[in-house]
Amino acid sequence: MPSVATLRPQEFDQAFVDRVIAERGDRPGALLGVLERVQEHEPAHYLPTTVLEYIAAKTATPLSQVYSVATFYALFSLEPQGRNTVCICRGTACHTRGSRDLLETATVRLGLQSDGDGETESLSITTPDGAATLRTVACFGQCALAPVVEVNHTIFGHMNERSLLKELDALDKGGRLS
Ligand code: FES
């Protein structure tokens, strides 16, 4: 594991990361909360490798453990994201309840290019102006609420196309998609 000194703090807001780690301390689930706050704070709403390495070194946590948390939860992204995120679950329970149509609806509404069949296992596309990122996940762990969609970190269960369009229209009307 790299030492804290060998990392490049100039690539992220080190003072903020240090503060969050100090606040969370050794509480159970602290790592999850640290990653969440740091991703929120990062202008492109993601967790760059440098930050993950820094958090691992600073908290004396194995880097593999930090990565497994960052990749397990659908909330986190290792790629830069747009100012808004729309995440559609494409797991089996959601698929059988119409998530492919939800994906198509969101793709068209956000002005993105469809991948053709909606079967892409893992999708992450950002609008050219950086207004929104559309992603898919394999399961939110909320299958009883299928189909499940997340918009800007709020989970919506039993989603249908009309409700999804309503949420996206609200973002647009609030000036968040421009
Ligand atoms: S399959 Fe969608 S929440 Fe589990």
Distances in Å between the Cα of 90 and the Cα atoms of 53, 123, 155, 157 are: 30, 10, 14, 13
Which residue's CA is the closest to the ligand 1 atom numbered 1? 91
Task: Output the DSSP codes for 36-61.
Answer: HHHHHHSTTSS--HHHHHHHHHHHT-
Our answer on whether the CB atom of 142 is closer than 6 Å to any ligand 1 atom is: yes
For residue 121, how many other CB atoms are within 10 A of its CB? 7
Judged by phi (left if over 0) then psi (alpha if -120 to 50, else beta), residue 46 lies in: beta
Measured in Å, residue 99 CA sits from the centre of ligand 1 at 10
3-class SS of residue 111: coil
CA 88 / ligand 1 centre spacing (Å): 9
| Between residues 31 and 119, the one the model is more confident about | 31
User: Tens digit of pLDDT for each residue in 132-148?
Assistant: 999 999 999 999 999 99
**Residue 30 beta carbon below 6 angstroms from any ligand 1 atom:** no
Summarize pLDDT for 103-112 with one digit per residue, the tens.
Answer: 999 999 999 9
Average of per-residue pLDDT values in the chain:
88
How far apart, in whole angstroms, are the C-alpha atoms of residue 4 and residue 148?
39
pTM (2 decimals)?
A: 0.78
Looking at the predicted structure, is the pLDDT value of residue 123 above 90?
A: no
pLDDT (tens digit per residue) in 58-93: 999 999 999 999 998 888 899 899 999 999 999 999
Instruction: State if residue 139 touches ligand 1 by the CB under 6 angstroms criterion.
Output: yes
Q: Residue 19's Cα: distance from chain center in Å?
A: 22
Structural domains in the chain, sorted by start: 4-72 (no CATH), 84-173 (3.40.30.10)
Q: What is the pLDDT of residue 52?
A: 96
Check residue 24 and give its pLDDT.
81
Spacing, Cα 124 to ligand 1 middle (Å): 17
Query: If you average pLDDT over residues 41-45, what whole number do you get?
Result: 90
Q: For residue 91, report the distance from its CA to the centre of ligand 1, in Å.
A: 5
Task: Say yes or no: CB of residue 91 within 6 Å of ligand 1.
Answer: yes
Predicted local confidence at residue 73, as pLDDT: 86
pLDDT at 122: 76
Between strands 132-137 and 84-89, the pairing is parallel
